[in-house]
């Protein structure tokens, strides 16, 4: 894969895939073998661990699906995009932003997820 938007959309499809075999194919297409995912609640390294993480989200939020809410913004080997987890009834469970690094082969090397809006950051003194 060389198109980062396709890679990101494949990554999100892996989150959404309920069939473990198909999910493993999507993970392999989107992630480097030693790819690392981290967010405020979870972390995983490698294809198998990410697949288990996605399965846990399915168990905890039956029928929920991730969707991208922004264009994919990328430069050099860095990427960011907005997303939300939507319940089966269409309500938003949580939204956020992912930032990551893309490896030389176009697959994700890292993703760091942040939950919620960025509002309020302007109050932080630097």
The pLDDT of residue 61: 95
Model confidence at 126: pLDDT above 70: no
Domains detected in the chain: 4-115 (3.10.450.50)
Residue 2 has which token pair? Answer: 């060389």
Tens-digit pLDDT profile for residues 60-103? 999 999 999 999 999 999 999 999 999 999 999 999 999 999 99
- Could you give the angle at the alpha carbon of 23 between the alpha carbons of 60 and 92, nearest 5°? 40
Tens-digit pLDDT profile for residues 22-66? 999 999 999 999 999 999 999 999 999 999 999 999 999 999 999
Q: What is the DSSP pairing of strand 65-68 with strand 73-75?
A: unpaired
**What is the pLDDT confidence band of residue 1, given thresholds at 50, 70 and 90?**
very low
Please give the share of the chain, as a percent, with pLDDT higher than 70. Answer: 91
Q: To which residue do tokens 């399915």 refer?
A: 58
pTM: 0.90
């Amino acid at each position: 894969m060389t198109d980062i938007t396709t890679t990101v959309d494949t990554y999100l499809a892996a989150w959404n895939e309920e069939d473990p075999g198909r999910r493993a194919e999507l993970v392999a297409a989107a992630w480097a073998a030693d790819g690392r995912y981290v967010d405020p609640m979870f972390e995983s390294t490698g294809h198998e661990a990410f697949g288990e993480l996605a399965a846990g989200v399915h168990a905890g939020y039956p029928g929920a699906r991730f969707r991208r809410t922004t264009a994919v913004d990328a430069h050099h080997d860095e990427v960011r995009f907005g997303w939300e987890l939507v319940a089966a009834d269409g309500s938003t469970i949580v939204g956020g932003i992912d930032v990551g690094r893309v490896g030389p082969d176009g697959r994700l090397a890292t993703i760091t997820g942040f939950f919620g809006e960025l509002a309020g950051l302007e109050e932080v003194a630097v």
